[in-house]
Structure 1
C-alpha cells in the first residue's frame, strides 16, 4: 500500500490589537497529489529511503490552525480514527526559501539506482531493492539481507547496471516536477502577508 499526502496552504493575518489569525488558502490536492517518496523524505522525513536530513519533520498539527483546515482534519480523524494519519507537520515559506537545494543526503540512497544501456547512453529505469533475486545472487547476498553500499559502488548484472547514489535535495524536489505549483502559490501569498506568515501543513496516510 502506498503513502499519500494531504494538506493545506495557510496564511496569517496580523491586525493591530488582535490575535494573529491563520486562514486557509489552498487545498494541497489542487496543486500536488503525487506520491513522490523522495520529496516526502526530503521535506518531511516520511518514506525517507533517500536518507535526507528532513527539513520539517514531526512538528505535529498546529494548535493555531485555520478554522477550515482544523474542521477538515477533525472530520477526517473522525472517519479514519486517530491512527489513520501520520507524519503531520508544517513548513513556512521562509524555510522553503532558505533551502540549499544542492545539499546532499546524509548517506547514499537505501535503494540502488537501476540503469539500462540505450543508444543515447545509460537511462535510469528504477530504484531497486538490493535484495532482488538476480542482484542478490550476483553479489552473494543472503535472502532478506540488508546492506549499505558506499557511494559510487556499481554492479553490471546482465544488461542492468546497479549503482549506489547519494541524492541531493534538487534530485528529490525537481524544478520541473510536482512541487513548483505549491511553491508558486506560497510565494504569491508571501508577497502580500510575509514569508513567515505563509505555511504548508501536511499529513500522510497509507
Structure 2
C-alpha cells in the first residue's frame, strides 16, 4: 500500500501580538499542489523517515503535531485520521531547518541502482550496500563497474535492452530542482520575508 504526505504550511500571525513568540500559528496554504506527493519515498525518507529505504538521517521524524498547532490544521488532521485508519503519524519542520539542510549529504546506502528496461516510465530501483542485490546478479550478471559495490565507480551500462545506472544520491537529488520540493522551499522562503525566519513551518502527516 502506498504512503502519501498531507499537510499545510503555517505562519505566525503577527497582527496584535506583543512579540513574535506570542503570535499564534495560522494555517496558510496546502502542501498540495506545491508538492503533489505520489509515493516519492526518497524525499519522504530524507525529510521524515517515511519508508526510508536508502537510510537517510531524517530531518524531522515522528515529532507529532506541534503543541501550538493552529486549530484549522489540527481539525484537518483529526478529520483525516477519522476517515482513514492508516493516518496516525504526524510531524513538523521549521523553515530554518529546511533552509539550513546540507544538500550534499548522502544516506547510509552506498548508492542506488536504477534498472530501466522500457523507457523512463518503467524503472526499478535498488538500494546498494556492500553487495549487489542477488536478483540483479541473477538477471543481469555481475556489473562491469566491479564485482562488489565497495570501491566501484558510479556509471551506466547496457545489458541487452536494459540500461543499468549505479549512482550516488544526495539530498539535492531528492529535494532539489525537478522533485517538487523546490516549490515548497520557494514559497516558505518568500513567506519568511513577511513573517520572519522562525515564523514559517510545514506540518505534515502520512497514511
Gaps of 5+ in 1: 141-147
Partner of 2:130: none
Partner of 1:25: 28
Q: Is the 8 A contact 1:46 1:87 kept in 2?
A: no
Question: What per-residue deviation string (whole Å, max 9, x for no partner) do you get for residues 9-68 of structure 1?
Answer: 001235117943110001112321222211111111112222222111111111211111
Moved more, 98-107 or 64-73: 98-107
Q: Is the 8 A contact 1:150 1:164 kept in 2?
A: no
Alignment of 1:100-119 (within 5 A): 100-109=102-111, 112-115=113-116
Instruction: Tell me, in whole angstroms, the C-alpha distance in 1 between the residues paired with 2:125 and 2:180.
Output: 22
1:60–1:47: structure 2 CA closer, same or farther, 3 Å change rule? same
Partner of 2:179: 177
Instruction: Tell me, in whole angstroms, the C-alpha distance in 2 between the residues paired with 1:29 and 1:183.
Output: 13
Alignment of 1:67-106 (within 5 A): 67-81=71-85, 84-106=86-108
Instruction: Tell me, in whole angstroms, the C-alpha distance in 2 between the residues paired with 1:57 and 1:167.
Output: 20
Partner of 1:34: 37
Alignment of 1:179-198 (within 5 A): 179-198=181-200
Q: Is the 8 A contact 2:80 2:87 kept in 1?
A: no
Instruction: Give the SS at the match of 1:186.
Output: helix
The partner residue of 2:125 within 128, 132, 135 is 128
Instruction: Tell me, in whole angstroms, the C-alpha distance in 1 between the residues paired with 2:140 and 2:153.
Output: 14
Instruction: Give the SS at the match of 1:57.
Output: coil
Gaps of 5+ in 2: 127-132, 143-147
TM-score by length of 1: 0.77
Q: CA RMSD in A?
A: 3.0
Partner of 2:3: 3
Residue 44, structure 1, aligned to residue 48, structure 2: yes
Question: What per-residue deviation string (whole Å, max 9, x for no partner) do you get for residues 168-191 of structure 1?
Answer: 011111213311221122112111
TM-score by length of 2: 0.77
